[in-house]
């Protein structure tokens, strides 16, 4: 239960701050409306830092089923995988709920249903299932490979141990995120998408379930490939 609660809290903070910055940028009449991609990517990096910092001591702060699967492949912790993923999904759904509560008036003031959905989950800039899947695979491959190398050396940053992962996510968002919005995390996308489908959002569209498999399958494939490369080319 400690793992589940730790992952729930860490992922809750990740989504609250991460989806919160998206809502601030894309929804009408906010103070941050139209402030752009740089604000979103920096906001998500800070969200990662806070979430990882909060959960690191108890669960290791996976906050992402792709990370959990990668570490299970690497270290054989398969018996703990259900507890990790359950915490991540519950935390993601709770974080999305609070973002909606925080910005409820602004959701109501936004008549573009695609932008409402964007504050919950990702969507491609150009819809092409193969290329969108490839983007999520590449982005997650970069994330997991980077995480595996970051975790390899002995910690030297003390309270700032979460910073390298936050900077890695910032780099992925700035460099690779323009195609699909860099979900790179099945829980980050699926949990809030479920909340979008059930919350009473004024004027909302469907939750784009036809696309929803891509930010789930892509990160899983990317994480598996990253582990194989990490094991095949040790440095």
Tens digit of each residue's pLDDT (9 = 90 or more) over 29-65: 999 999 999 999 999 999 999 999 999 999 999 999 9
Report the C-alpha gap between 168 and 76 in whole angstroms. 25
Task: Return the pLDDT at 156.
Answer: 59
Report the C-alpha gap between 63 and 52 in whole angstroms. 7
Residue 31 phi/psi, 5-degree rounding, is -65, -25
Report the C-alpha gap between 232 and 235 in whole angstroms. 10
Task: Tell me: pLDDT of 150 over 90.
Answer: no
SS3 labels along 171-201? HHHHHHCCCCCCCCCHHHHHHHHHHHHHCCC
Domain ranges for the chain, please list them. Answer: 2-229
Please give the model's pTM, rounded to 2 decimal places. 0.96
The answer to whether 192 and 15 are in contact (CB under 8 A) is yes
CATH class (in words) of the domain with range 2-229: mainly alpha
Report the C-alpha gap between 204 and 151 in whole angstroms. 41
Task: Return the pLDDT at 153.
Answer: 65
Distances (CA, A) of 142 to 21, 46, 66, 151, 173: 23, 19, 12, 14, 11
- Burial class for 152, CB neighbours closer than 10 Å (0-12, 13-18, 19+): exposed
Task: Return the pLDDT at 159.
Answer: 54
Which whole number is the average pLDDT over 143-154? 84
């Amino acid at each position: 239960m400690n793992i589940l609660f730790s992952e729930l809290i860490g992922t809750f903070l990740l989504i609250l701050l991460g989806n919160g910055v998206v809502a601030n940028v894309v929804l009408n009449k906010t103070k941050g409306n139209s402030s752009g991609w740089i604000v979103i990517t920096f906001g998500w990096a800070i969200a990662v830092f806070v979430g990882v910092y909060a959960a690191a001591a108890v669960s290791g702060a996976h906050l992402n089923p792709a990370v959990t699967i990668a570490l299970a492949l690497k270290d054989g912790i398969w018996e703990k995988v259900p507890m990790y993923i359950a915490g991540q999904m519950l935390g993601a759904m709770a974080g999305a709920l609070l973002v909606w509560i925080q910005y409820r008036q602004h959701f109501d003031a936004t008549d573009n249903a695609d932008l409402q959905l964007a504050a919950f989950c990702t969507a491609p800039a150009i819809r092409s299932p193969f290329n969108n899947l490839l983007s999520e695979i590449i982005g997650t491959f970069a994330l997991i490979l980077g995480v595996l190398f970051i975790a390899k050396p002995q910690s030297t940053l003390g309270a700032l141990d979460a910073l390298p992962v936050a900077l890695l996510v910032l780099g992925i968002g700035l460099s690779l995120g323009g195609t699909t919005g860099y979900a790179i995390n099945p829980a980050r996308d699926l949990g809030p998408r479920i909340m979008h489908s059930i919350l009473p959002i004024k004027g909302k569209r469907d939750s784009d379930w036809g696309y929803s498999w891509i930010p789930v399958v892509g990160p899983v494939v990317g994480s598996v490939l990253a582990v194989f490369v990490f094991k095949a080319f040790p440095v």
